[in-house]
Amino acid sequence: MPIDYEALLATAVTDEPFQYTEKDSILYALGVGFGSDPLDRNELLFVYEQPGLHTVPTMASMLLSNSFFDASGWDYSRVLHGGQHLELYRPLPAAAELLANRRVASIIDRGARKGARIELEAEVRLARDDTVIFTLNSILLARGDGGIGGPSGPIPLPHKLPKREPDLSCDLPTRPDQALLFRLSGDTNPLHADPDSARAAGFDGPIMHGRCTSGIACHAILKTICAYDFTLITGFDVRYSAPVYPGDIITTEMWQDRNVISFRCSVKKRDVIVINNGKCTLAS
């Protein structure tokens, strides 16, 4: 069943309940590489359930269920994340009950061969007191669902990286099984686990989740610039530009201008940029 443009654009939910536990926070942190050295006390704070358990800010992108689109008619096996814009109004608790208002903000029809660009907007609040904790705009690329009759643009311009050489750089390895671990945080698309599904979608094998790659970029910034103070990050925007394969080494290059960190991620061995035009905002 093809996407119904008008029906999908009208899709919205109010006060949708979610919850996550300390175990979920730890699992996400492990999925983006924290704890690879179990003797590193800075990283242990994210993966060991003691009072004051730290949370990785980009976990916010994984807290909302994909069931929002269950009736959309899209070909889920060909859906990729194209990017996201995250604003955090307070640090994520180690565990919480949440309420979310979500809607489809826009649909761009890129044509039958290129698919559809779907922007989903979410406002998420703490259930206990209705305090807004974060907002998230997610860009989804439904590669098998173009030609549905929607507008072909405009598409917002991405954040511009500085023209000077990067101020800082951080290399973080990924494990061959990392996509299998990360999918336990909520994204079970077969592209990330099943070799046949991945090859049918045009990849050499299972690929890493884009949201895992952005979590690794956040890991690099926390490690290199923030001294692991997760409360400093108040915004995190990315544009995914190429897939990462489990086992790749991800290099995050960073430019710091006051409280704005511009960044991009690459896999040098394959000479490919995997996240471009990244922007991380720190508390003033």
Closest CA to 82 of 275, 279, 280: 275
22-31 helix and 210-224 helix, angle to the nearest 10 degrees: 90
Closest CA to 122 of 145, 102, 105, 140: 102
Closest CA to 52 of 41, 62, 39: 41
Burial of 88 per CB tally in 10 Å (0-12, 13-18, 19+)? buried
Catalytic residues: 187, 192, 207, 210
Cβ-proximal residues to 194 (8 Å cutoff; 6+ apart), any chain? 206
Say which amino acid occupies 51.
Answer: P
Long-range contacts, stretch 45-49, CB < 8 angstroms, 24+ apart: 45/228, 46/228, 46/230, 49/22, 49/23
